[in-house]
Amino acid sequence: MRSTVNKVSYLRGEVEVAPDKSISHRTVILSALAEGRSRVKNFLQAEDTLTTCSCLQSLGLSIQLQDNELLIDSPGINQLREPEVVLDCGNSGTTMRLLAGLLAGRPFTAVLSGDASLNKRPMRRVLIPLSSMGMRFMARQDTYPPIAVQGGSLQGIEYQMPVASAQVKSALLLAGLQAAGVTTVLENALSRDHTERMLAAMGAQIERQPGRVRVVPGAELSPQDWEVPNDISSAAFFLVAASIVPNSEILLKQVGVNPTRDGILDVLRSMGADLEIINPHTAGGEPVADILVRTAPLRAVEIQGDIMPRLIDELPVIAVAMAVADGTSVVRDAEELRVKETDRIAAITSELSRLGVAIEATPDGFVVDGTKSCLRGATVNSHGDHRIAMSLAIAGLIADQPTYIDNAEAVNISYPEFWNTIQTLSR
């Protein structure tokens, strides 16, 4: 599908962006642990999360949408059944990695596969520590999907994460709940902590210290009524859009502002963005707030180090903000972008270059010279990556000529209403 984006004179209004994708995935997967009915308000109904639902149904869960609420009935972790089909994880690395942890302690074999993009993403970082706990697996080219997981008796471990990853950490915690003995995960940089918060709410014995998460198995977990905040990763596109489109003012409602996810706010503030946090409160165990953003002149920034796990998914749209900032911006320590839905460093640099942005890729990031950038319309490609598609759309809002985005349907992976949101705000 090709979408056309035209320059707009302003963006204004109040909007609720898509519900949080990371938390939506976890409401379904973690609900499998506890026998009984869990309920989810504001569940993200997008391709990735519906893929997770389908996989859990194959493991014996009953999942249905009723009156805008997701109802999940689980037989409990010990009654999950061996799937009769390959568990198709689609484009979702979260689904594949967390299910590997869930299945690691189950006494049966399951096969995890995905689409062409996901099956090109290495799973070594999750498979190796899980195998050290006792899980056995077979994979293509050693650690590439499809993956056959043979679960069984697990032993708790202490594991030092070489790279901060909430997905790998979550998989180890899920396996640790089923292991003999304690499992401890050590992190040099803090990754998003939704799994720890949610497991604690279910009654798991989770102990958290700076740089360390410890799970003690044996606690009886209870089903929950979950409430999913709106996704700060989806809000990021409109935080940038309102900052760079002239005469703009947007109020983003009920956005999750978990401190392990809010790096985008710190970066935009350091660039001079006009942001205001309104009505901060807690919902479903997660910090939530409204965010008011207005047009402001931006300045260049350098991003590197410990902040990366807090904004890794937002870097493509941050590159768009850098394209209009005064000066030269630099992103370092972002190697993780190379193994996302696509090589996002290569994708965002090649496609923004087509639009007239002075951007160059580096092995671990990119450099953007805002003083030499002049956004013009062009035909660009999402590379099948939802965040690349949406980032290019935001750039198109200030380009002098129309921007044509091929494979624009990729937005359905996380934000099916994205195009409608743009239309609403630009009327």
Examine the residue annotation and report whether 313 is marked as an active-site residue of this protein. Answer: yes
Q: How far apart are the first and last CA of the chain?
A: 23
Catalytic-role residue among 313, 333, 364, 406:
313
CA dihedral angle for residue 87, residue 88, residue 92, residue 98, rounded to 10 degrees = 0
Chain centroid offset of residue 17 CA: 14
- What the block records as the tokens of 142 is 């050693």
* Under 8 Å between Cβ of 171 and 101: yes
Cα separation, 354 vs 367, in Å, equals 16
9 CB-contact burial (10 Å; exposed 0-12 / middle 13-18 / buried 19+): exposed
CA dihedral angle for residue 92, residue 94, residue 418, residue 368, rounded to 10 degrees = -100
Give the DSSP letter of residue 229: P
- What the block records as the tokens of 203 is 């009654």
Cα separation, 273 vs 292, in Å, equals 11
Vertex 17 angle, CA 13 and 21, to 5° = 170
Alpha helices in 367-407 (DSSP H): 386-396
**Catalytic residue annotation:** 313
